[in-house]
Structure formats: structure tokens, C-alpha cells
Structure 1
Amino acid sequence: MKNFVQSVDYNLWKIIINGPQIQTKTSAEGVVTPKAEAKWNDNDKKNVQLNFKAVNILNCVISFEEYRKVSRCKTTKYIWDKLQVTHEDTTKVKETRIDMLSKEYEIFTMKEGESIDEIFEKFSIIINSLDAMKITHFEQVLVRKVLRSQTKK
């Protein structure tokens, strides 16, 4: 998702990660308060518009189930944080997912009656998931694993 958002606009990615810049004003006493919308300059409006664009992009790229989890979030930072917590950003969840995928990789075998296309699809899902978790294998190792997993037939 990061590369997709950055390809649209790098500033959108910065807003997702860091949160939107809230338009503020500082009084003579040094008190910082939100700036009234009527007092926004062009840069303030651009920053607010970028947050709305980022929210829209995130809402478009997530599934309906994910959308239901984040639909009440008003900023991209809140959406991103909630998605990270519910998925893979927490260390324990990530480690558990890696363990499960590694086990699937280890015990991967062709079942009786499966075609080469079917086992390749299953294997690709496991490998792509491991790649997403930064666990990579050399192509030669993967080819040997698939060849060894085939039945005699």
C-alpha cells in the first residue's frame, strides 16, 4: 500500500504516517489554538485537502470488512494505526503469522489428485505471504521444494 500511495503523492504518505497538520494559530501569549476555517490560507486548505484525499485512497484500497473497522476514523493516521494494530504491526501477531506460514512451508506437499497448477497456486500464496513478512527464499530452494513435494505419479 505504501508504494501505491507514494506513487500518487508522497505528501499523502507523510500524512498517513504522521497524521494531518492541524491548522493552528499562536496568540501573543504563545497559546496555540485551532485556526478558524475562514482564516485558512491556501497552504492550510491544501493540507486539509491532502488528508481527505488520503482518507479516500485508504477507503478505496481496503476491503469492506476492513472499512467497517475504520469507518469512524476521521484522519488517515487513525485509520493507518487501527489497520496496523488489527493486522501485522504488533510484534506478537507478526511473529505468530510468520510461525504459521513457516510451518505451512515446511509441511507443504502435493496431495493425491492435485494438478501442478493447483500446487503451484497454493505454494505461491505461502511464498508471497512469507515475502510480505520479509522472509525470503532463493529461487533454487523454492524450485527444489516444489519438486520434492510432488507425488510419484
Structure 2
Amino acid sequence: MQGPAFAAYLAASVLISGLGAVGAALALTPSFGGPELSRGARIYTEECAGCHGASLQGRIAGPPGQRIPPLGVTGHAWQHSDAELFRLVARGSNPGAGSAMPAFDDRLAQAEIEAVLIYVKSHWPARFRYQQAALHPGGDGALVALLRDPDATLPGDCLPAVATTR
């Protein structure tokens, strides 16, 4: 097999094998709806909104120079992996780093912290969620997130164009 037909076969094989490899991971990737989102919204309102704001907007607070970062689209939380975000919520941050994020591991269970992160991530545009998902070990996170998002479409340049001439 040579030429355009082989290119089409190869592209389809790569796509199908990639989808098969992430199939098992789909069950592990939270969707952005349902009970976890509602639970995360409730916990965020009770535990986080007082500092980070009801709309995840963040604020300037406390001593000069101390800033509570936004968690929504104007922030950079999406540039951190889930493991980093979880660790920050659970253990807090170093006050010497210009922030005084308290630790929540004594007040929130692991599943509650994860629900809050689902809620926060639900406010990010799809492109932020895809880029953030790509930070996870395993490398298939962005594809998994793309496949789980019902509003997503594959970009036109995702697969190489296949010539129709013989």
C-alpha cells in the first residue's frame, strides 16, 4: 500500500489506537456536570468564595502586596496540574511567597477537594481545560478532556488532509 491510501490508513490507525488507549481513562476523568459539580459549587461557596470571590475573581487583601489570585479565566490556575492544585488546597501555600492560602486537608476530604477543583475548572474555557489536562502524567489528558466535552469539535487540522486522486 502506498500514497494517499496508505496515509489515510495510517492516520485512521493512529486515531483508533489512540482512542482505544484512552478508553479506560474516560471513566476516571470527571465530567463538568452532575452531582460532583453541584457538590463542588456548594463547598466552594462555603469554604473558598470568602477569599477568592463568588465569581472566582480573586482580590487584593490583607497586608500590602498580598493578593488572592483569581481562579477563573483571568487567573492562571489552569497552568497547574490537578496534582499541584490539589496539593495547594490541601496543604496551603507559603506565606513568604506573597500568599497565605490556608491548608484545607483538616477540613475537607479528598473527594471534597476534587469536587471544588471540578467546579473551578467548569468556569474555564474549553481551551484552558484542554491545556490543563495535558499537564497530567500519561499525556492523554487533553484528548480525554476533548472527548468528554460535548461542545468540543476537532480542529480542521487535526488529521492530515488525504488526497482523493489516484
TM-score in terms of structure 2 length: 0.28
Greater CA radius of gyration, 1 or 2? Answer: 1
From the two aligned structures, give the one with the greater helix fraction. Answer: 1
TM-score in terms of structure 1 length: 0.30
